[in-house]
Amino acid sequence: MTTPLAMMLTSRFEMWLGWGDDLNFFYNDAYIPTLGAKHPWALGEPFREVWKEVYADVEDQVRSVMVEGVPTWNKALQLLLERNGYPEETYHTFSYSPLRDGDAIRGLMCIVTEETERVISERRLDTVRRLGECLIGTMSQEAVLQGLCDALAHNTEDFPFALAYLREPLGGLVGCSATDEARRLLREDWSLDGPADGCQDFPLDGNIDYPSGAWAIPPTRALILPIATSQGSAVATLILGLNPHRRGDDGLTDLASLVSDRAAGAFAQAHSVETERRRSDRIWTNSRDLMVVVDDKGIFQSVSPAWTRILGHSVEEVVGRTIESFVVDEDLETTRTALSGVFSGSQVTGFENRYKTAAGGHRWISWNTAFEDGLVYGYGRDVTEEKLQAIQLRQAEDALRQAQKMEAIGQLTGGVAHDFNNLLTVIRSSADLLRSRELGPERRRRYVDAISDTADRAAKLTSQLLSFSRRQALKPECFNAAAKVEALGDILRSVLGGRVQLNLEVACDDCAVEADVNQFETALINLAVNARDAMGGEGVLTIRIDAATAIPAIRGHAPLGRLRDRGGDRRGRGHRRRRPGQDFRAVLHHQGNRARNRAWSQPSLRLRQAVGRRRGRGEPEGRGRVLHLVLASYGRRGPAAGSARGRAPLAPSRTHPGRRGQRRDRRVRHPVAAGSRLPDRAGHQRD
């Protein structure tokens, strides 16, 4: 015995030995904490008496060592040791080895390691891990409550029973128990009105049979822990029965607090999810547009209440039926194609089809879809009214085009009558002059040519009317505007009559323009006739051909560049009828280089009107209105030619916001403006 005893006493490992038939108990200093309150009484006492509360658990192992001489080994064996006045949960790893005196076995040696803290800590960590697994993905507070109880059901050692109560918004309670044995405790009257931030440790009523969990005896104490939100109010309450074999263990309270904190976070998240779900439900319920869920067979799994408002069918009539049950027959094929495309991975945006209504009609629905987890989520907007409005708009546009067409025909009729009247005036005037006997052969030939030329122009006008009816484009060509005006001089004089003096002035070297010749001549004759009517048949009409880089102001439009050689009233007010003897001045300007756009060279080269009041610079008293006919030039630039003859050039052009299609390149400085008019008191009007 001396040798093993000396080895034990000098070792820092927990060791004890029993010697003799009663296995009298000897131990070293390292083993004293394991004895607890039994030290020093246990020294020399029989092993059976020292650990009588657990001797039955190791009796077979003692017999194996002392009788058979076979050593034993135990890993973290649970032993309820009464070393502190109550049966305490402990765990020990130890071995029993025989001690021999010669060939006889006289005792046993025990080397032991207490692992109570390790085993209990691992168990509590597993509880926390399991709690996290049970709370992951919980989307409602009821699910959090159930997950909390499921996690605690696996640790009935620390908490023999566990109850959880959820506070409802209206003040009621929803209870849940971790185990079936504890369900009957939900009816007990627990003190649940404590502070939201406090933990109550209270003794249990001994008259109630509480579940004992993993132990043979029930708990004697319990904890009440409120589970508070971030605002401080209790959303739930947790009641935990405490391990009866770990009295005074602060680790139990720490574990309970940790469980409560984890549960509080899960309740807060579930509250946010439920709030968002309620918001989504309100959107689903109150949406004025359709929202549907369709499976891969085209069957409605869910539809929003808007279906009833828009199409008239109740939700119950729609869910479980196919899309094709509600789509009109004419749209079935396109609907099948669109749905097949969605299940193939493409998204539908703005797909329109017609759905039958409960009243027997149909409504146009415009769909947008999303595909997820084998389901199609569709959002549909009723566009029936928009469709009807589009149809009505098209009908209105057709009616407007018809009205505009009739108006154009009316304007064309008036213009044609006016043009033919001017041509007939030329023919009639020339015919009247031919009746004079004093005419010489040369003048007679000129009047006959004038009649012939006017007839040709009438034929061209008829040809243009036919072109208009066939919507054919007019044909611009290049010609010398000065030569053409001089060629028309005799005809113009015959149209104006003997009391109107016609003066022709050429103020540019290069007067080549690009326009439709017949339209140019017609416009010039119309100007002359309007001028004659405005002067009361008596006065002076001056036609001047000059170069220009800008278009003067007209009624309702600001000027595109300011004319320096003629003053004018840019307010575009109506003119007074000219007194006999006043003059009427028409100015022809050709502009820039050759136009790139044919539309600017057409004979609808618009008239620009500058209203004068005898206040123009350099204009003597008695001078009257100036009219400008602006054409696109062809060839050399006009401003240099105009300034070379001492004429003041026009002001540099500037951008005008009201002109569409305006070109700003070197060759065409300004487009010809459209829509200007030349009105007079006689009621004539020329676009």
Per-residue pLDDT tens over the stretch 95-121: 999 999 888 999 999 999 999 999 999
Which residue(s) pair with 302 in the sheet?
293
Nearest-angstrom CA–CA distance, 263 and 275: 18
**pLDDT band at residue 558 under the 50/70/90 scheme:** low
- Domain ranges for the chain, please list them: 2-114, 120-283, 287-382, 473-644
- Which residue has tokens 């004992």? 212
Token representation of residue 554: 């007209």
Stretch 560-580: mean pLDDT, rounded? Answer: 36
Q: Give the distance from CA 352 to its chain's centroid.
A: 20
Whether pLDDT at 568 is above 50: no
What's the 3-state SS for 189-250? CCCCCCCCCCCEEEECCCCCCCCCCCCCCCCCEEEEEEEECCCCCEEEEEEEECCCCCCCCH
Number of neighbours of residue 413 by Cβ within 10 angstroms: 10
For the ranges 24-28, 450-454, 589-593, the lowest mean pLDDT is seen at 589-593
Q: Is the pLDDT of residue 514 over 50?
A: yes
What is residue 551's predicted lDDT score, i.e. its pLDDT?
Answer: 64
CATH architecture of 120-283: 2-Layer Sandwich (3.30)
- Tell me which residue has tokens 């709690």: 131
- Phi and psi, residue 100, nearest 5°: -110, 145
Asked whether the bond before 476 is cis by omega within 30 degrees of 0, the reply is no
323 or 534, greater pLDDT: 323
- pLDDT digits 0-9 by tens, 399-434: 888 887 777 667 667 777 777 888 888 888 888 888
State both tokens at 217: 């005896």
Listed residue (124, 110, 45) closest to 79, CA to CA: 110
Confidence at residue 621, expressed as pLDDT on a 0 to 100 scale = 43
For residue 483, what pLDDT band results from cuts at 50, 70 and 90? confident
Report the alpha-carbon angle 79-83-85, nearest 5. 115
Phi first, then psi: give them for residue 554, nearest 5 degrees: -130, 175
b (16+ CB within 10 A) / e for 184-201 = ebbeeebeeeeeeeebee
| Exposed / middle / buried, residue 266 (Cβ in 10 Å: 0-12, 13-18, 19+) | buried
pLDDT of residue 550: 65
Q: Quick one: pLDDT at residue 417?
A: 78
Distance of CA 57 to the CA centre of its chain: 73
Range of lowest pLDDT (18-27, 189-198, 235-244, 491-500): 189-198
Where is 626: in which H helix or E strand?
Answer: strand 626-632
Nearest of 87, 158, 79 to residue 122 by alpha carbon: 158
Mean pLDDT of 259-268: 91
- Please report the pLDDT score of residue 587 as a whole number: 53
Report DSSP state, residue 137. T
| 356 CB-contact burial (10 Å; exposed 0-12 / middle 13-18 / buried 19+) | middle
Q: What is the mean pLDDT of residues 546-574?
A: 47
Query: Tokens standing for 22?
Result: 């009663």
The confidence score (pLDDT) of residue 674 equals 27
Tell whether pTM > 0.85. no
Cβ-based neighbour number of residue 40 at 10 Å: 9
Note whether 350 and 369 are within 8 A (CB): no
Contact between 18 and 44 under an 8 Å Cβ cutoff? The reply is no
Residue predicted with more confidence, 355 or 628: 355
Q: Is 119 helix (H, G, I), strand (E, B) or coil?
A: helix
Query: 66-70, 623-627, 658-662: which range is least confident on average?
Result: 658-662
134: tokens are: 């049970």
pLDDT score of 365 more than 50: yes
pLDDT of residue 20: 92
pLDDT for residue 255:
95
Mean pLDDT value of segment 362-381: 92
Name the least confident of 226-240, 371-385, 657-671: 657-671
Return the SS3 of 415: helix
Residue 227 has pLDDT above 70, yes or no: yes
Rg (CA), the chain: 56
3-state secondary structure of 318: helix
Is a pLDDT exceeding 70 seen at residue 657?
A: no
Higher-confidence position of 679 and 414: 414
Q: Residue 142 is which amino acid?
A: E
**What does the pLDDT average to over 525-547?**
83
Residue 605: both structure tokens together: 């080269």
Rounded Cα gap, residues 298 and 306, in angstroms: 19
CA distance 254 to 236: 18
The structure tokens listed for 357 are: 């209504």
> How far is CA 10 from each of CA 25, 26, 34, 37, 614, rounded to the nearest angstrom?
17, 13, 18, 23, 138
| Residue 259: pLDDT over 90 | yes
Looking at residue 69, what is its pLDDT?
92
| Alpha carbon distance 152, 178 (integer Å) | 6
What is the distance between the terminal CA atoms of the chain, rounded to a whole angstrom?
139
* DSSP-assigned letters across all residues of 36-93: GGGTTTTTTSBHHHHTTTTHHHHHHHHHHHHTT---EEEEEEEEEE-SSSS-EEEEEE
Q: Are the beta carbons of 186 and 166 closer than 8 angstroms?
A: no
Q: Which backbone phi and psi does 608 adopt, to 5 degrees? A: -105, 130
**pLDDT band, very low/low/confident/very high, at 624 (cuts 50, 70, 90):** low
Residue 594 Cα distances to 103, 384, 552, 597, 598, angstroms: 135, 53, 20, 9, 10
DSSP letter at 540 equals E
The predicted pLDDT at position 600 comes to: 29
pLDDT (0 to 100) of residue 613: 32
What's the Cα-to-Cα distance from 412 to each of 404, 460, 548, 672, rounded to whole Å? 12, 15, 30, 21
Q: Give me the CATH topology for the region 2-114.
A: Beta-Lactamase (3.30.450)
Q: 503: part of which helix (H) or strand (E)?
A: strand 500-506
- 513, 632 Cβ separation under 8 angstroms: yes
pLDDT at 647 over 60: no
Q: Name the least confident of 50-59, 231-240, 501-510, 537-546.
A: 501-510
Tell me which of 194 and 540 has the higher pLDDT: 540
Residues 6+ apart with CB under 8 A from 571: 611
What does DSSP say about strands 500-506 and 539-548: parallel, antiparallel, or unpaired?
parallel
Q: Is the pLDDT of residue 645 over 50?
A: no
CATH 3.40.718.10 fits 287-382, yes or no: no
Structure tokens at 498: 């003997």
